[in-house]
């Protein structure tokens, strides 16, 4: 079929609809600077149903023709292998890397930093699910609902684009930085997300440290019975990105933030408090693991010991954690990389989510409903060619409300190096699901999950403490 460019051209000629799958997002024209890629327009940004609308300047991407995404050099343009929105967002960033690739081999990085307002990084993406059939099909799961894994992938890509905009200078250029996802705070689903109704994701930088920043994202969607102008909040997420020098790999300072409105000042204070709490919790976790929770460990292990020692007498409404496990493995391919050449964090989140979904499905016996993503840590970078193994299990269940039982699933990603006989954890993911009430008819119940080892019990206590805090 020839080169990747000719194959893409052949496919778009045979499938004309494919070239319009980002209808409503924008018509892409080659910009002269990074800032020129975003078209500013005033719109109303509401942070919730009961809050006053706050007029802000939002930035949206122009429409991009998927058939015109022939970038040079191709090694710096992996977006064509990802979701259409990730494709659009990375297309908007690609000119930066083209300028960097033509820059001197050993440029001296600028040292001057500027303070930017949150409005400078604010970006939104519109999904026209109501009218764009091709786009809707790419985000539909087998139950005609939103495929949450792909949405998580897009959220990570949007957070990355926002971080690039914040770190760029006023003339649209950027210093030679590598910006990577460090962690994701809890994402809470506030209402079901529909696949047949237009959807908007929007966000901005809310807090900046020396070399890290927090980006708050919101997913908004109108209800079927209301007009699009009365969108309500469906999901919130806070991403933390860190900056590394592209030559040394060490942390690099970034532009500071200068909030303008009272809302932006409040968001910065909340983010600062979250950052302090993360540091405190890390220190407390180490102390707890060393010695406290003996009584709690023994209580958790009591039922597990019966399963191991006297299985005939074990509670039939309980199950050992190890019996809920699933896993899969993959070799990380070039098509899964980001614009830095490493494996895209959104891809890892999508794979982890879909394994967690399958784990909850096999455990509950019916299709689960997504509730939330708990804190996600990106501990180690994952590179092209790495052997990645994802292991999942139901960590524990919450059965106080039998009409809405909660299933907490843990997914741990390991980078395996068979030639070195080594393995290290790259990511920890925690997801919560429930089930439809009608799936619990005729006395069917969600089972209690019990740890069988001390190490499993410690993991359960850690997560329960994190949930309480």
* Tokens (6 digits) for 32: 């002269």
Neighbours of 395 (CB within 10 A): 23
Check whether 20 has a pLDDT greater than 80.
Answer: no
Check whether 55 has a pLDDT greater than 60.
Answer: no
**Per-residue pLDDT reduced to its tens digit, 362-416:** 999 999 999 999 888 899 989 999 999 999 999 999 998 878 899 999 999 999 9
Given a contact cutoff of 8 angstroms between Cβ atoms, the answer to whether 467 and 461 are in contact is no
**Per-residue pLDDT reduced to its tens digit, 185-223:** 888 899 999 999 999 999 999 999 999 999 999 999 987
**Per-residue pLDDT reduced to its tens digit, 259-271:** 999 999 999 998 8
Distance CA 65, CA 62 (A): 10
Q: What's the pTM?
A: 0.76
Check whether 97 has a pLDDT greater than 90.
Answer: no
Mean pLDDT across 305-313: 81
Given a contact cutoff of 8 angstroms between Cβ atoms, the answer to whether 169 and 113 are in contact is no
Q: What is the pLDDT of residue 451?
A: 92
In 290-405, DSSP assigns E strands to 318-320, 326-331, 368-373, 376-378, 387-398
Given a contact cutoff of 8 angstroms between Cβ atoms, the answer to whether 156 and 345 are in contact is yes
Q: What is the pLDDT of residue 288?
A: 54
In this predicted structure, which of 109-123, 140-154, 389-403 has the lowest mean pLDDT? Answer: 109-123
Tokens 């030559």 belong to residue:
247
Q: What is the CA radius of gyration of the chain?
A: 23
Percentage above 90 pLDDT, the chain:
40
Check whether 63 has a pLDDT greater than 80.
Answer: no
Kindly give, in sequence order, each residue whose CB lies less than 8 Å from that of residue 8, ignoring residues fewer than 6 positions away. 67, 69, 70, 80
Pick from 209, 84, 222: nearest CA to 154: 84
Distance CA 126, CA 198 (A): 7
Check whether 47 has a pLDDT greater than 50.
Answer: no
In this predicted structure, which of 159-163, 178-182, 463-467 has the lowest mean pLDDT? Answer: 463-467
Q: What is the pLDDT of residue 62?
A: 34
Q: What is the pLDDT of residue 76?
A: 47
Cis bond upstream, residue 73 (ω within 30) = yes
Domain architecture of the chain: domains with CATH: 62-68+80-99+112-259 (3.10.129.10), 292-466 (3.10.129.10)
State the DSSP string of 392-411: EEEEEEE-SSTTS-EEEEEE
Given a contact cutoff of 8 angstroms between Cβ atoms, the answer to whether 233 and 190 are in contact is yes
Tokens 């964090």 belong to residue:
345
- Reported as a pLDDT band with limits 50, 70 and 90, residue 303 is confident
Distance CA 169, CA 36 (A): 13
Q: What is the pLDDT of residue 118?
A: 92
- Reported as a pLDDT band with limits 50, 70 and 90, residue 231 is confident
């Amino acid at each position: 079929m020839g080169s990747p460019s000719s194959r893409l051209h052949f496919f778009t000629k045979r499938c004309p609809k494919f070239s319009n799958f980002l209808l409503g997002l924008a018509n892409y024209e080659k910009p002269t600077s990074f800032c020129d890629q975003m078209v500013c327009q005033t719109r109303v940004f509401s942070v919730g149903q009961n809050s006053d609308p706050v007029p802000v300047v939002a930035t949206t991407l122009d429409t991009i023709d998927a058939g015109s995404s022939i970038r040079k050099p191709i090694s710096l343009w992996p977006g064509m292998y990802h979701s259409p929105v990730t494709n659009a967002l990375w297309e908007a960033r690609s000119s930066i890397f083209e300028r960097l690739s033509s820059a001197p081999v050993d440029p001296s990085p600028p040292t001057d930093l500027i303070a930017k307002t949150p409005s400078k990084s604010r970006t939104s993406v519109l999904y026209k699910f109501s009218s764009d059939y091709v786009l809707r099909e790419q985000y539909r799961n087998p139950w005609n609902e939103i495929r949450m894994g792909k949405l998580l992938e897009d959220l990570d890509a949007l957070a990355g684009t926002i971080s690039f905009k914040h770190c760029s200078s006023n003339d649209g250029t950027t210093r030679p930085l590598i910006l990577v996802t460090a962690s994701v705070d809890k994402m809470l689903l506030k209402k079901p997300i529909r696949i047949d109704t237009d959807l908007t994701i929007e966000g901005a930088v809310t807090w900046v440290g020396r070399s890290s920043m927090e980006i708050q994202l919101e997913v908004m969607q109108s209800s079927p019975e209301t007009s699009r102008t009365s969108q309500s909040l469906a999901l919130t997420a806070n991403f933390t990105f860190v900056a590394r020098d592209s030559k040394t790999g060490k942390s690099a300072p970034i532009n500071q933030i200068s909030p303008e409105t009272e809302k932006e000042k409040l968001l910065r204070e909340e983010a600062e408090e979250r950052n302090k709490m993360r540091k405190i919790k890390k220190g407390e976790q180490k102390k707890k693991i060393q010695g406290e929770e003996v009584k709690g460990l023994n209580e958790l292990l009591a039922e597990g010991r019966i399963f191991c020692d006297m299985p005939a007498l074990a509670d039939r409404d309980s199950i050992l954690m190890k019996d809920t496990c699933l896993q899969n493995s993959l070799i990380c391919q070039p098509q899964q990389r980001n614009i830095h050449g490493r494996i895209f964090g959104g891809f890892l989140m999508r794979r982890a989510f879909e394994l967690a979904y399958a784990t909850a499905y096999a455990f509950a016996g019916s299709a689960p409903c997504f509730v939330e993503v708990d804190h996600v840590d990106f501990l180690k970078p994952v590179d092209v060619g790495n052997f990645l193994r994802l292991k999942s299990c139901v960590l524990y269940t919450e059965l106080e409300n039998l009409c809405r039982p909660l299933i907490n699933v843990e997914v741990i990603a390991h980078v395996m190096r068979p030639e070195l006989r080594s393995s290290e954890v790259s990511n920890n993911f925690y997801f919560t699901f429930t089930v439809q009430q009608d799936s619990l008819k005729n006395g069917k119940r969600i089972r209690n999950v019990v740890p069988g080892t001390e190490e499993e019990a410690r993991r359960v206590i850690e997560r329960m403490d994190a949930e309480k805090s």
